[in-house]
Chain A
């Protein structure tokens, strides 16, 4: 295996783990961060696959803006207070 394949497999494993964490974690804030992590790793993968245009979009929108929009929505839904489980 060449080094690109190994790096791709590592990134893929991290992406899968973050995606599982985003779905199953009980704390919503952690789940949102994990979802942003998936996008960040995806943009890294695009750089390795020689698609810098797509990587820039994914990093700026996927892991930057959408994470913040989720946090804004979370604060609006909870009204700044924590849920009691």
Chain B
């Protein structure tokens, strides 16, 4: 026991020395680095037509990484679905009934939350936020709906159809970039680049981010619904 505690203290001391060293030698860098400079170059905004440079980097230059993130999320949702299919929830299992306040407020707030989520991912190329953020906001909207009516029924077919279709269309749009433009997930396909700052600009970026938003939103909602509908292990 004492050896274990002593070892922990020693480990902590090593970390303190290490981080104190980092902090002492820290000077803020003024140059973002070679790769970042390439992404942030003056012509990159004009070339991609995206007012939000972060979105331009995430969807086009680093589009493959975004596809990887979406696949990781899909994998997690699948594994959760695999483990949570055992027991069905009984009708009398819920302990807390929702309050009148929550029920009334959710009627107004849930549609507004969905609308805000859609706004965030449709305007991903103009304002901060994008597919993942908008999808998470949509999922919190469906969470609010679930808290307001614990026995409310969600149409599982619609959710899985939207999820699968948006995922497949995302990959197909990426493939179109290989045929029509410079490479996989290039944004310069069929759609015009347009004027920077307009809603219909930046080529395929708004389209791709809307698909990502729909996929993430339905996926997270499906995960929450599965968590709610699974019964307690006896």
Interface residues of A (CB under 8 A from B): 52-53, 56-57, 60-61, 64-65, 68-69, 72-73, 75-76, 79-80
Known: A65-B136, A80-B232. A56 touches B120 (CB 8 A): yes
Of B95, B136, B137, B228, the contact of A72 (CB 8 Å cutoff) = B228
Of all chain B residues, the one with the shortest Cβ separation from A69 is B227
Best-buried of A60, A69, A75 by chain B (most CB within 10 Å): A60
Grouping DSSP codes into helix (H, G, I), strand (E, B) and loop, the A interface class, with mixed when no group exceeds half, is: helix
- From B29-37, B124-132, B154-162, the one touching the partner chain is B124-132
Q: Tell me if B133 and A53 are in contact (CB < 8 A).
A: yes
Question: Could you pull out 7 A-B pairs where Cβ atoms are within 8 angstroms?
Answer: A56-B128, A57-B132, A60-B137, A64-B143, A65-B136, A65-B143, A72-B227
CB distance from B232 to the nearest CB of A (A): 4
Contact present for A76 and B139 (CB under 8 Å): no
B residues in contact (CB < 8 Å) with A: 52, 54-55, 93, 95, 120, 128-130, 132-133, 136-137, 139-140, 143, 220, 223-224, 227-228, 230, 232-233
Considering only CB atoms, which chain A residue lies closest to B220 in the complex?
A: A65
